[in-house]
Protein backbone atom coordinates (compact mmCIF):
# COMPACT_ATOMS: atom_id res chain seq x y z
CA UNK A 1 0.00 0.00 0.00
CA UNK A 2 1.15 3.51 -0.87
CA UNK A 3 -0.29 6.20 1.37
CA UNK A 4 -1.13 9.70 0.16
CA UNK A 5 -1.93 12.54 2.55
CA UNK A 6 -2.96 16.08 1.61
CA UNK A 7 -2.66 19.13 3.82
CA UNK A 8 -2.83 22.91 3.64
CA UNK A 9 -6.48 23.48 2.90
CA UNK A 10 -8.52 26.10 4.65
CA UNK A 11 -10.49 29.32 4.33
CA UNK A 12 -9.04 32.17 2.29
CA UNK A 13 -10.40 35.45 0.94
CA UNK A 14 -10.83 36.07 -2.79
CA UNK A 15 -7.52 37.18 -4.26
CA UNK A 16 -5.59 35.39 -1.57
CA UNK A 17 -3.09 32.57 -1.77
CA UNK A 18 -2.81 29.09 -0.36
CA UNK A 19 -0.36 26.23 -0.73
CA UNK A 20 -1.44 22.61 -0.66
CA UNK A 21 0.95 19.76 0.07
CA UNK A 22 0.68 16.08 -0.74
CA UNK A 23 3.08 13.53 0.70
CA UNK A 24 3.32 9.96 -0.56
CA UNK A 25 4.80 7.22 1.60
CA UNK A 26 5.24 3.48 1.64
CA UNK A 27 7.12 1.07 -0.56
CA UNK A 28 7.76 3.50 -3.38
CA UNK A 29 10.29 2.61 -6.03
CA UNK A 30 9.50 5.50 -8.33
CA UNK A 31 6.81 8.07 -8.99
CA UNK A 32 5.78 8.64 -12.58
CA UNK A 33 3.29 11.43 -12.04
CA UNK A 34 1.55 13.40 -9.33
CA UNK A 35 -1.51 15.51 -9.77
CA UNK A 36 -4.26 17.52 -8.15
CA UNK A 37 -7.97 17.10 -8.74
CA UNK A 38 -10.89 18.96 -7.23
CA UNK A 39 -14.59 18.47 -6.78
CA UNK A 40 -16.97 21.32 -6.05
CA UNK A 41 -20.50 20.81 -4.69
CA UNK A 42 -22.79 19.56 -7.43
CA UNK A 43 -19.98 19.19 -9.93
CA UNK A 44 -17.86 16.35 -11.27
CA UNK A 45 -14.30 15.84 -10.19
CA UNK A 46 -11.88 17.61 -12.51
CA UNK A 47 -8.17 17.62 -13.10
CA UNK A 48 -6.45 20.78 -11.88
CA UNK A 49 -2.74 20.25 -12.42
CA UNK A 50 -0.25 17.46 -12.94
CA UNK A 51 3.50 17.02 -12.99
CA UNK A 52 5.56 14.13 -14.33
CA UNK A 53 8.89 12.71 -13.23
CA UNK A 54 10.44 14.79 -15.98
CA UNK A 55 8.98 17.98 -14.48
CA UNK A 56 6.54 18.42 -17.34
CA UNK A 57 3.40 20.21 -16.12
CA UNK A 58 -0.19 20.55 -17.25
CA UNK A 59 -2.92 22.84 -15.97
CA UNK A 60 -6.62 23.20 -16.39
CA UNK A 61 -7.50 26.33 -18.35
CA UNK A 62 -9.41 27.67 -15.38
CA UNK A 63 -6.30 27.81 -13.18
CA UNK A 64 -3.56 28.48 -15.72
CA UNK A 65 -1.47 31.46 -14.72
CA UNK A 66 -2.75 31.36 -11.14
CA UNK A 67 -1.74 27.93 -9.86
CA UNK A 68 1.71 26.36 -9.87
CA UNK A 69 2.44 22.69 -9.31
CA UNK A 70 5.86 21.53 -8.14
CA UNK A 71 7.45 18.49 -6.54
CA UNK A 72 10.19 17.56 -4.12
CA UNK A 73 11.45 14.16 -5.22
CA UNK A 74 13.49 13.61 -2.06
CA UNK A 75 10.34 13.92 0.03
CA UNK A 76 7.92 12.27 -2.43
CA UNK A 77 5.86 15.41 -2.08
CA UNK A 78 3.91 17.52 -4.54
CA UNK A 79 2.73 21.06 -3.94
CA UNK A 80 0.02 23.22 -5.41
CA UNK A 81 0.66 26.93 -4.98
CA UNK A 82 -2.63 28.74 -5.52
CA UNK A 83 -2.76 32.49 -6.07
CA UNK A 84 -5.46 34.98 -7.04
CA UNK A 85 -8.03 32.61 -5.63
CA UNK A 86 -11.63 32.93 -6.70
CA UNK A 87 -14.85 31.70 -5.09
CA UNK A 88 -15.19 29.20 -7.92
CA UNK A 89 -11.98 27.56 -6.73
CA UNK A 90 -13.87 26.34 -3.67
CA UNK A 91 -13.75 22.55 -3.66
CA UNK A 92 -12.31 19.49 -2.04
CA UNK A 93 -8.85 19.02 -3.50
CA UNK A 94 -7.51 15.50 -3.99
CA UNK A 95 -3.97 14.35 -4.66
CA UNK A 96 -3.24 11.49 -7.04
CA UNK A 97 0.09 9.66 -7.24
CA UNK A 98 1.09 7.05 -9.83
CA UNK A 99 4.24 4.99 -9.93
CA UNK A 100 5.91 1.73 -9.00
CA UNK A 101 6.08 0.00 -5.63
CA UNK A 102 9.44 -1.27 -4.44
CA UNK A 103 8.30 -4.88 -4.54
CA UNK A 104 10.15 -7.63 -6.41
CA UNK A 105 9.23 -7.40 -9.16
CA UNK A 106 8.01 -3.79 -8.99
CA UNK A 107 4.26 -3.31 -9.20
CA UNK A 108 2.20 -0.35 -10.32
CA UNK A 109 0.20 1.81 -7.95
CA UNK A 110 -2.35 4.55 -8.40
CA UNK A 111 -3.18 6.10 -5.04
CA UNK A 112 -5.48 8.89 -3.90
CA UNK A 113 -5.48 11.02 -0.81
CA UNK A 114 -8.50 11.68 1.38
CA UNK A 115 -8.90 15.25 0.18
CA UNK A 116 -8.51 18.67 1.75
CA UNK A 117 -11.15 21.40 1.74
CA UNK A 118 -10.39 24.76 0.15
CA UNK A 119 -12.96 27.49 0.67
CA UNK A 120 -12.60 30.90 -0.99
CA UNK A 121 -15.01 33.37 0.55
CA UNK A 122 -15.23 36.84 2.04
pLDDT in tens, 85-113: 999 999 999 999 999 999 999 999 999 99
Give me the half-sphere count of Cα atoms (radius 13 Å) on the Cβ side of residue 10. 11
For residues 11-31, average pLDDT: 97
pLDDT tens-digit series, residues 43-92: 999 999 999 988 899 999 999 999 999 999 999 999 999 999 999 999 99
- Contact call for residues 32 and 76 (beta carbons, < 8 A): no
What's residue 103's pLDDT?
A: 95
Amino acid sequence: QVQVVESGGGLVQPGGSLRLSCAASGMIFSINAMGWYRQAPGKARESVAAITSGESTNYADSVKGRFTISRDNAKNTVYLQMASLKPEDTAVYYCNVRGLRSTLPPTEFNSWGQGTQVTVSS
